[in-house]
Structure 1
Amino acid sequence: MKVLIIDDERLARKELINLLQDYSQIEVVGEATNADEAIELVNTLSPDLLFLDIQMPGKTGFEMLEMLDNVPQVIFTTAYDEFALKAFEVNALDYLLKPIQTERLNESINKLTLKSKTVSSDLINSKKLCLEDQVFVKDGDKCWFVSLSNIRLFESDGNYIKVFFDNNRPMIHKSLNALDEKLDPRSFFRASRKHIVNLSWVEGIEPWFNGGLMVKLRGGDKVEVSRRQAAKFKEMMSL
């Protein structure tokens, strides 16, 4: 597991590196002192895991994550317990309080090791986001790390996209066309100008007006597939 440590405090970085030497599955491939350095290293080194400080000069850890197209696993490191708990909701995410305790670090590493997975080389080379990938979603003061397998639907709303997962509907500032180019077409389908659906969530299909289709997703959401996309959709969903 390739690890990148991002913290503006040199002693904090060195302390964490020393602690991580006890884990044979961990390889520290780089250090960054701020968000701009970190973004460059993430794009160059493609780490599996970030140890990320929240408060740094310039951009915060949260702002840095918003600038990444593909977010690795992240463990936040912070000296501010109340700040961390208030700033984000924990989903597929962990945080460590400074000074980092060995027992707490071990718990985090074990948790992330269990979640580690092997992604086929063709998906890596295509740089498309697949169901196993995680994305960082921020809406106001709330943040989530969400597996794409849990996102059932993307819906365009002006210059924003509404992201449907669990009982959440956060809005992100992105175009549906830009998102469509990032997603693996084997797992996500552009149903119309307004919607992208996760094919693994499709529960039922029925004919609709003007040669279109109405798709029902697990959980009850219904999405209309345009006539233009209907034939392609039926081909993808058939044996």
Structure 2
Amino acid sequence: MSASQPTALIADDEPLLREALAAQLADAWPALQVVAHARNGREAIERFESLQPDICFLDVHMPGVSGIEAAQRIGRRAHLVFVTAFDHYAVQAFAHGVLDYLVKPVEAARLADTVSRLQERLRAVEPATNTDALLEELAARLRPPATQAPLRWLRALVGQTLKLIPVESIDYLRSDDKYTRIAWRDDGGQLAEALIRLPLKELLPQLDAAQFAQVHRSVVVSLRAISHVTRGDNDTADIHLKGRREVLPVSRTYLHLFRQM
């Protein structure tokens, strides 16, 4: 690609976040052409192979093929920028001075610094630095330990009382900013809710995959709590729960879990 017409791909499983980053890039770097959007790592790889953009903005956590895994496939053929809500992944990469990153929500000042570094790298004659070892290290950090037993209990403060919640009694978990809202049934079958100080993305790998399924970026549901699922417009669906009025969204990314409908 011509240095005066750099091109980019944005991969994130949330459409609004892809569009927001594209709009911010349009302001920070008008010459940059965003030539492709991808909903997951697999699409990112496919669209990279087809369009060969100069830069790839990759969300670290995507269903299926992660941003790290997509970056491993893309390798040195593009400049990589990770977009993440988790500083510990970002700092690990950036400390090596090889990969750049943006932390959600993306701040204008940070994006401007990233754009400046990318412009310098595009002007450089030398090829991109080999990042294979670093990417493998980051990918390993994303994998839960193979021997880790599923989580059995969660502690939550309800009023002034510390509750010990059996995971098997949970109907669903929903992201609430930096917290996670837990909806469960107590010993008497009464519906209850509480907030815990742990992000949903950190909880998810600890849950039993045979019992819980992520159905939206911000929602994980117990399969045993589902009454029925109804299809909506635009490749989405709604989950109706047994004995609860709440309706949980199923985003397009996770609709394949209910393809039999």
1:141 maps to 2:137 = yes
TM-score norm. by structure 1 comes to: 0.50
1:66 to 50, 63, 72: 72
- Partner residue, 2:115: 109
How far apart are residue 58 of structure 1 and its match?
A: 0.6
- Please list every run of 5 or more consecutive structure 2 residues that lacks an aligned counterpart in the other structure: 1-5, 140-261
- Partner residue, 2:11: 6
Return the alpha-carbon distance in structure 1 between the equivalents of residues 118 and 43 of structure 2. 24
**Residue 22 of structure 2 aligns to which amino acid in structure 1?**
I
**Residue 3 of structure 1 aligns to which amino acid in structure 2?**
A
**Residue 20 of structure 1 aligns to which amino acid in structure 2?**
L
Say if 1:88 and 1:101 are closer, same or farther in 2 by CA, change over 3 A: closer
User: What value does the CA root-mean-square deviation take over the aligned residues?
Assistant: 2.3
1:32 maps to 2:38 = yes
Identity percentage over the alignment?
35
Residues 131-210 of structure 1: pairs in structure 2 closer than 5 A: 132-138=127-133, 141=137
Is the 1:78–1:95 contact (alpha carbons within 8 Å) kept by the matching residues of 2? yes
- 1:28-81 per-residue CA deviation (whole Å, 9 max, x = no partner) reads 000001111111111111111011110110121111122235431011100111
Return the alpha-carbon distance in structure 2 between the equivalents of residues 84 and 69 of structure 1. 18
Return the alpha-carbon distance in structure 2 between the equivalents of residues 46 and 134 of structure 1. 18
Return the alpha-carbon distance in structure 2 between the equivalents of residues 43 and 81 of structure 1. 29
Return the alpha-carbon distance in structure 2 between the equivalents of residues 80 and 25 of structure 1. 29
- Please list every run of 5 or more consecutive structure 1 residues that lacks an aligned counterpart in the other structure: 120-130, 144-239
**Residue 11 of structure 2 aligns to which amino acid in structure 1?**
I
Aligned length: 132
Say if 1:132 and 1:82 are closer, same or farther in 2 by CA, change over 3 A: closer
Return the alpha-carbon distance in structure 2 between the equivalents of residues 69 and 58 of structure 1. 19
1:19 maps to 2:18 = no
Say if 1:87 and 1:94 are closer, same or farther in 2 by CA, change over 3 A: closer
Return the alpha-carbon distance in structure 2 between the equivalents of residues 95 and 69 of structure 1. 16
Secondary structure of residue in 1 paired with 2:110: helix
Return the alpha-carbon distance in structure 2 between the equivalents of residues 115 and 86 of structure 1. 20
Return the alpha-carbon distance in structure 2 between the equivalents of residues 72 and 94 of structure 1. 12
Is the 1:51–1:76 contact (alpha carbons within 8 Å) kept by the matching residues of 2? yes
- Partner residue, 1:200: none
Say if 1:88 and 1:55 are closer, same or farther in 2 by CA, change over 3 A: farther
TM-score norm. by structure 2 comes to: 0.46
**Residue 16 of structure 1 aligns to which amino acid in structure 2?**
L
How far apart are residue 86 of structure 1 and its match?
A: 4.2
**Residue 132 of structure 1 aligns to which amino acid in structure 2?**
P
Say if 1:92 and 1:83 are closer, same or farther in 2 by CA, change over 3 A: closer
Return the alpha-carbon distance in structure 2 between the equivalents of residues 91 and 137 of structure 1. 14
Secondary structure of residue in 2 paired with 1:21: helix
Secondary structure of residue in 1 paired with 2:43: helix
2:101 to 86, 95, 102: 95
